[in-house]
């Protein structure tokens, strides 16, 4: 099997609408006002410059998702339900004429598990979306209290996700303010993409595993980005520790087994060959997919790195596009 570098599929790729501009502004504005001015056009663009960059990077297809934290940080469930519906409709309309290049993940109002189930089904059935992307925990009413996806209220939600046969992409967001303050005050550089987002998302993945949801739903598929949100490097230690100190962990299998059955990672915004080798050795190339995290990171940089990694054509084809085709039935 030859690796075709023009056929890549990327699936942690974000857009925003005017409604959510204030949510995404902090990530750009810290680079300077002119960066934010340029970024506004970049993040709202779907089929203009984005398509040119996809061509340049050899990305044949992109699965689009609403940026972080957006729906998940809306405190009022009714407003979250309404916003998710509108943004999913907008996305479906925006890609309708470009189905050869774009697919989509639904944004879900996780503030209401029942509404999230309904919206997931609606987006798959009416629009042909390929699952959902959720920006981690949500808050309901109180901004200081995170509601994690391993809460028992989400059991019916995960059962429905399993039935659809499509994965959920679990994406980072900044932790709640009291935790952010306790951990990162005076070191704000660590709070987001340099560290905080990723260990927080890794924690949520382990919470899901520890809740036993993957034992209840053995076919449930979760996707996580950034080369596995720090987890592959630590898998032996976590697995070994739980085998001797199980405490309230409800997982029936050794922890590392879920990374071979229920979890697939992407290379989004983590172009490290040593990190990729670690993930390959823990999870195999069947469980790794290319992605770029555009527009927060560069499609070209990710593509140039990936096209030149010193692995076999078979492994590059799997990670570059074959795994995504299979997982999302593209
Ligand atoms: Zn992202």
Model pLDDT for residues 182-240, shown as the tens digit of each residue: 999 999 999 999 999 999 999 999 999 999 999 999 999 999 999 999 999 999 999 99
> Which position among 23, 150, 293, 297 bears the catalytic label?
293
Question: Could you report the per-residue pLDDT of 40-81, keeping only the tens digit for each?
Answer: 888 999 999 999 999 999 999 999 999 999 999 999 999 999
Q: Residue 219 Cα, ligand 1 centroid: separation in angstroms? A: 25
Distance CA 153, CA 140 (A): 13
Given a cut of 90, whether residue 23 has pLDDT beyond it is no
Kindly tell me the burial class for residue 175, based on how many C-beta atoms sit within 10 Å of its own C-beta (0-12, 13-18, 19 or more): buried
Q: Could you please report the per-residue DSSP string of 82-136? A: HHHHHHHHHHHHHHGGGTTTEEE-B---TTSHHHHHHHHHHIIIII----EEE-S
Q: How does pLDDT run across 78-133, given as a tens digit for each residue?
A: 999 999 999 999 999 999 999 999 999 999 999 999 999 999 999 999 999 999 99
> Which helix H or strand E contains 218, and what residues bound it?
none
The sign of the CA dihedral 188, 193, 197, 202 is negative
What is the phi/psi pair of residue 301, to 5°?
-60, -45
**Residues lining ligand 1 (ion), CB within 5 A?**
12, 293
How far, in Å, is the centroid of ligand 1 from the Cα of 251? 28
> Please, are residues 38 and 320 in contact by the beta-carbon 8 Å criterion?
no
Q: Residue 313 catalytic? A: no
């Amino acid at each position: 099997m030859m690796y075709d570098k023009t056929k890549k599929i990327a699936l942690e790729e974000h857009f925003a609408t005017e409604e959510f501009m204030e949510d995404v502004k902090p990530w750009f504005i810290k680079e300077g006002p002119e960066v934010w001015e340029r970024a506004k056009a970049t993040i709202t663009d779907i089929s203009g410059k984005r398509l040119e960059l996809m061509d340049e990077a050899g990305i044949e297809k992109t699965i689009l998702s609403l940026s972080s934290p957006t729906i998940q940080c809306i405190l009022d469930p009714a407003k979250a339900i309404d916003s998710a519906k509108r943004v999913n409709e907008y996305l479906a309309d925006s890609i309708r004429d470009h189905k050869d290049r774009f697919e989509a993940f639904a944004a879900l109002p996780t503030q209401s598990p029942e509404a999230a189930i309904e919206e997931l089904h609606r987006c798959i059935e009416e629009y042909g979306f390929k699952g959902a992307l959720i920006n981690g925990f949500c808050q309901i009413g109180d901004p200081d209290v995170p509601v994690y996806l391993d809460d028992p209220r989400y059991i019916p939600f995960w059962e429905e996700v399993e039935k659809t046969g499509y994965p959920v992409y679990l994406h980072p967001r900044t932790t709640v303010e009291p935790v952010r303050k306790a951990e990162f005050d005076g070191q704000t550089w660590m709070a987001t993409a340099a560290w905080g987002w990723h260990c927080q998302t890794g924690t949520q993945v382990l919470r899901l595993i520890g809740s036993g949801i993957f034992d209840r739903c053995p076919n449930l598929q979760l996707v996580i980005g950034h080369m596995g949100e720090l987890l592959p490097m630590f898998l032996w230690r976590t697995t070994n520790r739980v085998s001797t100190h199980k405490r309230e962990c409800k997982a029936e299998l050794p922890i590392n087994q879920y990374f071979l059955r229920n979890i697939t990672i992407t290379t989004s915004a983590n172009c490290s060959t040593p990190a990729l080798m670690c993930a390959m050795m823990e999870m195999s190339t069947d469980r790794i997919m290319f992605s770029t995290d555009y527009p927060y990171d560069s499609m070209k940089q990710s593509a140039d790195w990936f096209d030149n990694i010193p692995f076999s054509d078979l492994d590059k084809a799997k990670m570059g596009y074959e795994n995504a085709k299979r997982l999302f039935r593209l």
